[in-house]
């Protein structure tokens, strides 16, 4: 079983990539250095509780999601809801609209 520190590092990297955020952008939004993000994501660096909370907030995910080990990962739908996080109602409606259009596009491509 993976060490918790590495699970957190993997999850930070996973959610950062899910939001198409660079390490630099995450560092800026979480108010930590770029080198800190690089070291955290490699699992070679710990972080303060404040940094952990700031990183979760910058990623717009519930901090508890960053503790999950691979075998505890939630379903794709739960991950989707977690990514929506604290988005506004209008942002969620827009994202749903865009997903509908993408599904329509996929359907047209397969015909």
pTM over 0.85? The answer is no
Q: What DSSP line would sit under the chain, residue for residue?
A: ---HHHHHHHHHHHHHHHTT--HHHHHHHHTS-HHHHHHHHHT-----HHHHHHHHHHHTS-GGGGG--GGGPPPHHHHHHHHHTT--HHHHHHHHHHHHHHHHHHHHHH-
Encoded tokens for 17: 């990539």
Number of domains in the chain: 2
CA-to-CA separations, 63 to 74, 108, 111, in angstroms, rounded:
14, 39, 42
For position 2, what pLDDT does the model report? Answer: 56
Give the domain range for residue 17.
Answer: 1-73
- Assess contact for 17 and 59: CB atoms under 8 A: no
Residues 32 and 15 in one domain: yes
Rounded to whole angstroms, the Cα distance separating 23 from 35 reads 9
pLDDT at 49 over 60: yes
Residues 49 and 97 in one domain: no
pLDDT at 1 over 50: no
Residues 60 and 93 in one domain: no
For position 75, what pLDDT does the model report? Answer: 67
Q: What is the pLDDT of residues 59-95, one digit of tens each?
A: 999 898 898 876 566 666 677 777 777 788 898 889 8
């Amino acid at each position: 079983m993976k060490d918790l520190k590495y699970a957190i590092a993997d999850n930070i990297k996973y959610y950062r990539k899910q939001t198409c955020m660079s390490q630099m952008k995450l560092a800026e939004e979480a108010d930590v250095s770029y080198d800190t993000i690089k070291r955290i994501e490699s699992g070679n660096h710990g972080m303060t509780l404040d940094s952990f909370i700031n990183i979760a907030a910058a990623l717009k995910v519930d901090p508890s999601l960053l503790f999950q080990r691979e075998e505890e990962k939630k379903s794709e739908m739960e991950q989707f809801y977690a990514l929506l996080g604290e988005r506004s109602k209008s942002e969620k409606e827009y994202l749903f609209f865009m997903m509908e259009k993408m599904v329509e596009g996929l359907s047209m491509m397969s015909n």
